[in-house]
Amino acid sequence: MFPEKVCPDCEEPLERMELQGTDAVGTLSIVSAAADDGFLSGIRADEILTPVPYVCPDCRRTLLYAEN
């Protein structure tokens, strides 16, 4: 099992969000994480992890964690 994720600001347990548009969010995250074009060219589609958003119920801060 994954260790419990907590908010870095208020240390509240984060709530896992269900993605509605996994492809759109994944593409957005990958583009923002890869500054140079050479990074994506070496990755196969099945090796890309799916970013899963976790939101803090207290301050609404949202963090993305890569899961597969």
16 versus 43: smaller Cβ distance to Zn ion:
16
CA atoms within 13 Å, Cβ hemisphere of 38: 0
12 versus 67: smaller Cβ distance to Zn ion:
12
Name the site residues for Zn ion (rule: CB under 5 A). 7, 9-10, 56, 58-59, 61
CB 56 within 8 A of CB 12: yes
CB of 56 to Zn ion, least distance (A): 3
Which conformational region is residue 31 in: left (phi greater than 0), alpha (psi within -120 to 50 degrees), or beta? alpha
26 versus 53: smaller Cβ distance to Zn ion:
53
